[in-house]
Amino acid sequence: MPEEKNSLLFRLREQGAGSVLLLLAVVLLLAAFQPGVLHGRNLANVLAQSAIVGVCAVGMTFVLLSGGIDLSVGSVLALAGAVGAWSCKVLGLPVPLAWSVALLTGTVCGMLSGALVAFGGVPPFMATLAMLAAARGTTLLLTQGYPLSGLPPFFYTPGWASVGPLPLPGLIFLALALAAWVLLRRTPFGIHLRALGDNPETARLAGLSAPRLTLAVYGISGTLAGLAGVLMVGRLWSAQPNVGIGLELDVIAAVVLGGTSLFGGVGGMGGTVAGVLVMGFLDNGLRLLELSSYVQQSVKGLIFVGAVLLDLALKGYYRKGRSRDA
């Protein structure tokens, strides 16, 4: 049977308990083969390396909860980073203003995707796939295919600085996740968002504004992709036009591993944080074990497929299929 709203399984999934257990299992397994995984410096490295996926995953959680999907985050990240760097280097804008331009670029891209979905009736997959292509093309046009570097050192600070032993990008990710948790758990917005993802027609009949919610979640996703673009420029010390290719797959995998359903209405931010760290530890641990990048991609692909199959099983997909066949 599909999971019931009041069942223990549903409550554990909403709270991300399964994702936390998966995270512990992955860390302990990797540590058994490579004890260096648990060293303090390596833990800080994992948090820093997970931050960009994590920031995008926070936004993706909102989108998936609404019943949508955003395939454009990697391209929007690249475009926002390039626009911010170009604004600073070519137009001479002060660094904080250039950061703001990068975030605004992400917001505009996200809301354009949301408008296509909310008002144009375009399926989220197609709307964000179009934005993926448009943002990547615009990035290449702006940069002419070459990296933008030579920016003021302060521009790079968010992507590499640390607060004591903790990396600043990781702290930004965790702070955003906490703010998003409060928004989803303690405000009407979170309740309305889950209602929209769980049953759009019922939500509409209850008086909820589906177009406004859709615009909001895609705007949030785009803004956070823009922020991730700023972090990526700081991490690479340049705005690379081809950065972020395939990032959306890692982001979606992390969110789904965190227990958020691809069908909408189920999930939470605690699980997303755990899912991001699972992906981070897998990347880090497999590199420490000196496995090839091809093996790493295969492992992540298998984990993503497993997460999707589990989501389908929890939704009762296979039971429904057997019932139809009978």
In this predicted model, what pLDDT tens digit does every residue of 26-57 receive, in sequence order? 889 888 888 888 898 999 999 999 999 999 99
pLDDT for position 290? 81
**Structural domain boundaries of the chain?**
40-321
Q: What angle do CA 260, 305, 176 make, to 5 degrees?
A: 35
Query: Worst-scoring range by mean pLDDT, 72-81, 189-198, 308-317?
Result: 308-317
Q: What is the mean pLDDT of the chain?
A: 88
pLDDT, tens digit (0-9, with 9 covering 90-100), for 203-249 = 777 778 889 999 999 999 999 999 999 999 999 999 999 999 989 98
Query: Exposure string (b/e) for 51-84, b if CB count within 10 Å is 16 or more?
Result: bbbbbbbbbbbbbbbbbbbbbbbbbbbbbbbbbb
In the chain, the amino acid numbered 196 is L
Cβ contact 37:30 at 8 Å: yes
Cβ contacts of 70 within 8 Å, gap of 6 or more: 59, 60, 63, 110, 113, 124, 128, 218, 221, 248
Does position 137 have pLDDT exceeding 90, yes or no?
A: yes
Alpha helices in the chain (DSSP H): 8-15, 17-33, 40-65, 73-89, 95-118, 124-143, 153-160, 168-186, 188-198, 200-205, 210-236, 247-257, 269-288, 293-314, 317-325
Residue 316 pLDDT level (bands cut at 50, 70, 90): low
Question: pLDDT value at position 311?
Answer: 67
User: Which residue, 260, 253, 310, is CA-closest to 283?
Assistant: 253
Cβ 211 vs Cβ 118: under 8 Å: yes
Q: What is the pLDDT of residue 13?
A: 53
Of the candidate ranges 11-20, 104-113, 129-138, the one whose mean pLDDT is the lowest:
11-20
What pLDDT is stored for residue 195 in this prediction? 87
- Assigned CATH for 40-321: 1.10.3470
On whether the pTM is more than 0.85, the answer is yes
User: What value does the mean pLDDT take over residues 190-213?
Assistant: 84
Q: How confident is the model at residue 325 (pLDDT cuts 50, 70, 90)?
A: very low
pLDDT digits (tens, 9 = 90+) for 140-170: 999 999 999 999 999 999 999 999 899 999 9
